Structure 1
Amino acid sequence: MSDQSAGELRVSLSTSSVYPGSTASGFEAAARLGYDGVEVMVSVDEVSGDVEAVRSLSEFHEVPIVSVHAPCLLLTQHVWGTDPWGKLHRSAEMALEVGAEVVVVHPPFRWQREYSRGFVEGVGDLEKQYGITIAVENMYPWRTGKREFQAYAPGWDPVQEVYEHVTLDLSHSATAGEDALQMAMALGHRLTHVHLTDGSGSPKDEHLVPGRGAQPAQSLLEHLSASDFDGEIVIEINTRKTTDQQAREADLLESLAFARLHASR
């Protein structure tokens, strides 16, 4: 990881935060609004998975790519083929080529039985093979009314596993009914990457602007600022319901200001 412990923590923007806008519009927004970098969400937008295209966007807008989010959503199950290990290899290769230090990945779905059986060990092997950080993200049980379904294997909670590096997403912790600050403290040095967002505790994965939900986003940032955390803070919010471009940018600016205020060293 970058040696940022003596200085301010970087605040970057996930390209998913401008969806349904394009990957290109994510880079443009990050540069114009003053973000420190970009996390590329590899998605159905073909540009997002094109190494030369995203590298050109990074160079043109003069914003670094700090991380690559592997295509492991239900929406992206056919992006880069259907082999989950192939997707991770390609994500690691892309990260190396664009100068990113982190690959973010979700745990397998329970129905991906072969993939899930060797996932924990396989992630460790990939890190050694590529010399890159692969940070497994916390997820949540799927809930409908009073029914709960464990959709991820070996589990949705990386605190309970032996991953060397973890991504903490505050919307996911809200949906799981967990406290993000407590999760961060339990993870200790394994906490490598943060998706800064928020949630009300609804069964729906909301990705609210930080500070608008029930998660201890401010306390988490203050904790990270006071610690030796030297990872990335990435804004990953849902702006799909904003009324227009001005409203979307207002949400992106509010998120950035929140992060800068409470993560200041």
Structure 2
Amino acid sequence: MSLTTAALVTGGTSGLGLAVAARLMASGVVPVLLGRSEERGEAALKSLGGPAVFVRGDVASEPEVAGALDAAERHGSLRAVVNCAGVPHAARVLGRSGPHSLDRFVEVVTANLVGTFNVVRLAAARMAGNEPVGEERGVIVNTASLAAFEGQVGQAAYAASKGGIVSMTLPLARELAGSLIRVVTVAPGFFHTPAVATVPAAARAELDRDLVHPRRWGDPAEFAALVAHVIDNPMINGETIRVDGAVRMSSGLRHRSS
């Protein structure tokens, strides 16, 4: 990438997104971090210690995403967008307290799927105006999850939101090919992120049983390395790439959470 290239990283203030931002910045890209927390944004900029930018906003808000894209374009050509923003969720459809909250289902799908699509559509409109560099004008990398393929009990909302990202990858890539924009999705398995801290120890132990090789949880830097390769490799397009150490999740029927 050119040293004048800017990249938007949603959810870039922690976890996988922050690792992506650090990797891009190391290659000379100016990462613009979109997130909802000013506190995490300030901490992320301090951690990165370079020419990164934080913009407070929600991926499901058109004006807030537009503001983040404006910020990116002030620092160079917007050539890459990496969608890492999202919310975890686990609740049974028929729990101890009654049926799954419909409002919560909508919130999860809005944050993970609708928010991702909102960023894709707005970013693609900006990228389409770029002068081509080589064979392309830009690349968009979305984040799904292995739950999109084998969600456990209690993951109906989360799996639906991430499965939607997987399902729209190929049609987006086919349509945006006319604008020389690639679209790729990465589906991570178990990675050490701040969200892991909310997982009860017993549930974590159950997940550990599904590990294959390597028998450990991933480092966010390993996720970022794959994203960087996707951005640099023009032949990767319209694909969902699993990065999970061969994990295949069990049904989760041993868990009795509501």
| TM-score w.r.t. length of structure 1 | 0.38
| TM-score w.r.t. length of structure 2 | 0.38
Task: Tell me which structure has the larger Cα radius of gyration.
Answer: 2
